[in-house]
Amino acid sequence: MYHPGDYAYLEDLPRRFVCRVVEADSFGADASMGQLLKLAPLGGPWPPGTMLVRLSSAVRPAEDVLHAGRGAMRGMGVATDHEERTPSRGQNQSHEAP
State phi, psi for 56 to the nearest 5 degrees: -60, -25
* Residue 28 to residue 5: CA distance in whole angstroms: 22
pLDDT for 68 beyond 60: no
Give 63 or 46, the one with higher predicted confidence. 46
pLDDT for 78 beyond 60: no
3-state secondary structure of 51: coil
* Residue 72 to residue 13: CA distance in whole angstroms: 16
Query: Which residues, 6 or more positions from 12, have their beta carbon under 8 angstroms from its beta carbon?
Result: 54, 58
Mean pLDDT is lowest, of 4-8, 15-19, 65-69, for 65-69
pTM for the model stands at 0.63
